[in-house]
Chain A
Amino acid sequence: MTVTLFIPCFVDSLYPGVGISMVRILERLGHRVVCPEEIACCGQPAFNSGYWPEAREVAAPVLRRLQDAEVVVIASGSCGAMLKVFYPQLFAETPQAEAAKALSPKVWEFSSFLADKLGVTDLGARFPAKVTFHDGCHGLRELGIKTAPRRLLEKVQGLELVEMADAETCCGFGGTFSAKFPMISTAMGEVKCAGAAETGADYIVSNDSSCLMHVQGLLSRQGSPIKTIHLAEILAQR
């Protein structure tokens, strides 16, 4: 299968390891990976803030460049939800409405692509550590992804998964919300970090780098020993 990777701007510029891990895993599984250079952002910041015409300026080229893709795989439930769920709304009653609808079923979040679409859960990964999993809200509630990342983690050798209290509670990132309402965003993140700390885990794992950027930012500032890591980076470890 030819897999088109969608690498969101912040993964590209801040977490290249996540993208590299995805490429390695998908190639190991025998797929051809392509990654169009021009695609950099799904347009979510403007969309979530209510600036839909500005969001369309970013999203329309994405839609055009992805229209011939066989499948589109994204390592972020949030950007995945944007393409899969919100593009049809963003482009409703525009000339691109059909294209947005046609793209939607081809879009997959990475963990769900592996576990649900390809039916692969054992990637031969090894990661000897105690981890807890944070469900990114968009992956969980817009895309309905709950078991896929856990099924993948269960097969990782040496890894112990402990669930934290309120794993499904938002970490407080919320895109532009984190900068517009930093005190609320921070308070939510503190609750998340406390829940993770109670498990005694070494790592907080998620399938969304944006949540992890927020949580890691707080943990580093607090001087906490807990680290964050994206699911793809664990699955690529041998």
Chain B
Amino acid sequence: MTTHVQEFLAQARVVTRDLRHRGLIQTALRKYETARDRKKAAFNDWQSARQAAAETKWDAINHLDTYLAEFADKMEARGTRVHWAGNAAEAREIILGIIKSKGARSIIKSKAMTAEEIHLNDAMEKAGYEVVESDLGEFIVQLRHEPPYHIVFPAMHLTRDDINELFQKELGSASTREPEELTMIARRALRRKYITADVGITGANFAIAETGMISITENEGNARLTAALPKTMITLVGIEKVLPKLEDLALFLPMLATAGAGQTITGYNTMYGGPRQPGECDGPEEYHVVLLDNRRTELLADPEQRDALHCIRCGACLNVCPIFKNVGGHTYGTTYSGPVGSVITPHLRGLQDWKHLSGSSSLCGACTEACPVKIDLHHHLLRNRRNAAVGEPSFFERLAYRLFAFVINRPGLYRFAKEAGRLTEPLQKLIRDTPLDPARAWTGTRDLPPMPEQSFKEWWEERR
């Protein structure tokens, strides 16, 4: 069986060699950066906005118990049924239970990373239901039978030619290169589904405790249709998405749009307060909110890394991450990719199985600088590495560091090591980039610097 780390390495090898793929992602993200910088400039002071957002989330996460209870009470008061799911299996069971009780056959979904996290589509399809993704990007990756590539831009790895080809094959549409026409093709396929769907499932961007509301932002209007047309609506939301007050959205909505997509504000921002109330003309007859823990409370119990729960899933850290830009989203092999994924996946899915994600970073800190809620992302990678090494140290690695310490702390030995390096340099050149070369991980693609005649310390000694 291949392990997660082997899969990661194999996939990273493929994508880093694929110049077209890397070029596509890098070009798209360069455009994003330009747009984001323009929108950031519209804030009076982006840094104090980040500070305010971080403080609001700190309050929300550190008083999660009270805010969640407040949220649930307020929602239930207007007739929403609130469910608590401890883990992925429970969440699937709750949702399948609702679907079954409604005698539903077809389900329409808008974008929800939490649904990816619990593999909801798989479970619903296995149970015999037809599931259709209504977000354009999600619709595309669903047709390709692959997970979203990026938490905000699920199909960013595809060109319009790729999409045209896919639509021709899967939907039998006529060939076109026009983005508008491609959108229309998807829209025609989807509109029918909205009308016939019995249940609509959405994710959530924020859960407002003060008023008991779910806030969803989107650019296509598909989440509104998903919520408004079917008789039953289900929202699956991670417990960390809580915001204390309604007015917090005044900061968080523009911030999410700016950091996530370089927009002033997302196209559609909707709040859902419950099922259709007496006298209202639309909305679902029944509304269920499923609050998902799935090991988030374990992260909550870790005071050092608790701030990772501040995440609003804007994707900014992915967009600036040079690792993400060169290995792409699918290589991570998990729902949440990029820096935030590398921080939380080891917590959500097991440290030892996923520690390679925390390891595969140069710790450059671009993510931390970009994060609108000031999560200490790259330092959390260090902390995960430390925790992993404490839990299950690698025998060889530890030995290597001990040996290194032994040599480096003894000037005589260190001098000898330098001398040995100089003497073996011609030999190193001979075996360079062969299986005999102990430095092959380096020399496979990079030359080693030539050893100078004299080291600094030798020069210093001589001079004195």
Q: Write the residues of chain A forming the contact surface with B, with a CB cutoff of 8 angstroms.
A: 7, 9, 11-20, 23, 35, 37-38, 40-41, 43, 45-52, 54-55, 57-58, 61, 137-138, 140-142, 168-170, 172-175, 177-189, 191, 213-214, 216-218, 220-221
Contact = CB atoms under 8 A, between A and B. Distances in A.
A61 B405 CA distance: 10
A217 B450 CA distance: 10
A227 to B, nearest CB: 12
Most chain A beta carbons < 10 A, residue from B325, B361, B382, B408: B408
Given A51-B401, A184-B16, A174 B361 contact: yes
A187 B385 contact: no
A177 B455 contact: no
Most chain A beta carbons < 10 A, residue from B364, B384, B418, B442: B364
A12 B456 CA distance: 5
A184 B360 contact: yes
Contact of A141 (B9, B22, B369, B461): B369
Question: Which 7 pairs between the two chains have the least Cβ-Cβ distance?
Answer: A174-B362, A217-B446, A50-B385, A50-B389, A170-B364, A54-B401, A19-B456
Contacts of A35: 457, 460
A218 B448 CA distance: 9
A7 B325 CA distance: 34
A182 B408 contact: no
A50 B382 contact: yes
Interface residues of B, number: 61
22 contacts: A12-B455, A19-B456, A40-B408, A47-B382, A48-B382, A49-B385, A52-B386, A52-B389, A54-B402, A57-B401, A137-B365, A138-B365, A140-B365, A141-B366, A141-B368, A142-B365, A170-B366, A177-B361, A181-B12, A184-B16, A188-B326, A217-B447
Given A51-B397, A51-B401, A14 B445 contact: no
Interface SS of A by simple majority: helix
B454 interface: yes
A38 to B, nearest CB: 6
A12 B422 CA distance: 13
Given A182-B445, A183-B16, A184-B323, A46 B405 contact: yes
Contacts of A9: 408, 414
Most chain B beta carbons < 10 A, residue from A170, A178, A220: A170
Given A49-B401, A50-B389, A183-B12, A169 B460 contact: no
